[in-house]
Each structure stands twice: as C-alpha cells, then as structure tokens.
Structure 1
C-alpha cells in the first residue's frame, strides 16, 4: 500500500477512471488537485479539483504547499502536500492523478511511490476521446494531441501500465495494483 501515481496522456480518461475508483473503492483516498483552470460543466470545487486563481496558486507554490506542481494546457495544477502526508501516515492507500511533468516531480520527491501509466487502447481511440469531449477549441486539441504523442513515449518510465479500454475494468486493475491483488496482462498503445 502507500502512494500510487496515475498519469497518462490528455484524453486517456484519467479523471473518468479515478471517478470509478472513488465510487467503487472508497477505501482508496484520492488526492484533489488545485488548478487555475475554470471548472468544466458538472465539476464541483473540492470534489474534482480545488479551483484557485493564479495569485493564490503562486502563493501556495511559494510557501511549499505542493508535493508537485506543473503547467498544462495553459493552466497550473498542483498536489497539496498536507492531506497526502496525513493519509500516508495513517496507512491509507493514496492515489494521485497527475500529468507527466508532475509525476516526474513526485518520483524525485517520493521515490517509493508506485507509478502507473494509463494508456488508451489505440491512438485512434485517444484522438476520438479528445475530439469528442467538445470542451476545447481546435487549437487546444491539436496541442493536446501533439503532447499526447510525447507523453505516450514516456510509458517506459512507469512501473505498470493499465489500458483504459473499459473504465470499470481499468479502475479494478488500478486498485488491484495498489492493494497487491492479482492483475491482468497489459499492453502498450499503438502510436503513429
């Protein structure tokens, strides 16, 4: 048990898988990141994210309140240190859902963590998910796809890979890795 870090390319479904973990495995504590981006429809402050303005976020960085923080798609994201350290001290299995840049920072700060890469079943499916979301402008989608190609190449930096071909199954595989229960074989996504 301990800390598990989940990362993967934009659009792979990290948030959806984590929502399934929250719903199906309440024994797992999921860290709520702070972000400077505006809430998407249906998001609630303190549930999916803690929403902060740029000034508040910069202050949190300055005083060392984050385990990691990164810029992604023009917005800042960070993992609050206090709640994570409290849960780890209590022996609670903890999950961080963060971007690749943040995962690398956590690897440096907390090398004992388990790092899991969430991969799409195929590149075409990742493109479909990113374009089907309908919440980003075409230039943002293009930047995310370019970045996704780079992020998919980082898969080898991770301890485990879970393919998100079906959300409930991916959540179960992730929790299985966190708790030491048996898991299925995983495969890498195909990237052009």
Structure 2
C-alpha cells in the first residue's frame, strides 16, 4: 500500500521537547513532513486548526473512526482522543516524502501492530529527557497545563519512560540542535539522503 522510505514514529513523554526538535529539524530540512494529528482537546493559545492539530468534536472524531479514516486512535491522559488520519500519511509516503508521525506511547504500539497489514515499514524513535527532574522543569516552565493536567502527564511520563526499550532508537534531548541532527541522520539513512 505504501512505498518510499520508512515512517518515523516519534514518541516521548510530554514536555520532553518533541515539537521543538521537529521545528529545529524542519528549519534545516523543510522537505520533512510531520503528520498532523486529530484531537478532541481544546486548542492551546496560538494553535491553528490543520497546522498544529485537526481539532474535532467528539462526534466528528467518532464518525471518522467509524469510517476507518484513522491509522490509529487513543484516549490520552484520560482527557482527550487523538488519532492519525491515514490518507495524508499515504499521500506523502507514496511520493517518498520523509515522514514523521509524532505520537504517544499507546499510538506507537498500535502503529507497530498495524504496520504489517498495511505494508508500512516503521522506525520507532524515543525522545528521552536528560533526567526526570529536567522533564518536570520543562513541563512546568512551558505553562500550558493546569496543575492537575501536569500531575497526570508526569504520571503518564513514568509509564512512557519505562517503555523506552520498545523503540528502535533513543535520542536524548539534552541539546535541541544535536537531537534534530540525530533525527535527520536516521531519516537520511532510511530515505537514502545525504546526512
């Protein structure tokens, strides 16, 4: 079904800097496409529909799920549904565009399970913090969650960090540009591009 390079499935705990690493990567390599997930959570200040996420109502999400339009879906932090729309992924990978899917741990596991039936090759990449204390600091400093949301995300982070061994590659995000370069090295290898 899908041709081209392997899909890079990128996971890591909230606050680890996945999005920041992706921005740094795309500054140097704008040809990389990052999948835009759908979610039922409310937009954060400054987020744009179709750019940061596709913001859907619970009903819209359920309709798309029933129609088989998602590669995977998950309820994250017990708060909101997230999902990966399949068609944009197929469209980009079929023409050999380096493609990243940033996703939570549950979603990464589902993608790995579905990969074989879809003819989809994946490389799983775990973005890790230098330490748990640093993760707490980053999550607190970004100021996008309430205290209760932050507490839930940190509880989830313990589970996510314990699953690091399930991934093909770990990149420690102790320096954003170095982490972005390491991510490009993986993409370059999988897509036959110059490192």
TM-score by length of 1: 0.90
Matches of 2:23 and 2:76, distance apart in 1: 21
* 2:44 alignment partner, SS class: coil
Matches of 1:39 and 1:138, distance apart in 2: 18
Residue aligning to 1:55: 59
Deviations 1:129-171 (A, max 9, x none): 1111212111211111111011101000000001111212211
Task: Indicate the RMSD between aligned Cα atoms, in angstroms.
Answer: 1.6
Matches of 1:116 and 1:108, distance apart in 2: 16
Matches of 1:126 and 1:168, distance apart in 2: 18
Residue aligning to 2:126: 117
Matches of 2:96 and 2:122, distance apart in 1: 13
Give the gaps of 5 or more residues in structure 2.
none
TM-score by length of 2: 0.89
Aligned residues: 183
Deviations 1:76-97 (A, max 9, x none): 1111100101111112211000
Query: Is structure 2 residue 155 aligned with structure 1 residue 146?
Result: yes
Residue aligning to 2:80: 75
State whether residues 18 and 97 of structure 1, in contact with CA within 8 Å, keep that contact through their aligned partners in structure 2. no
- From 165, 171, 186, the equivalent of 1:156 is 165
* 1:135 alignment partner, SS class: coil
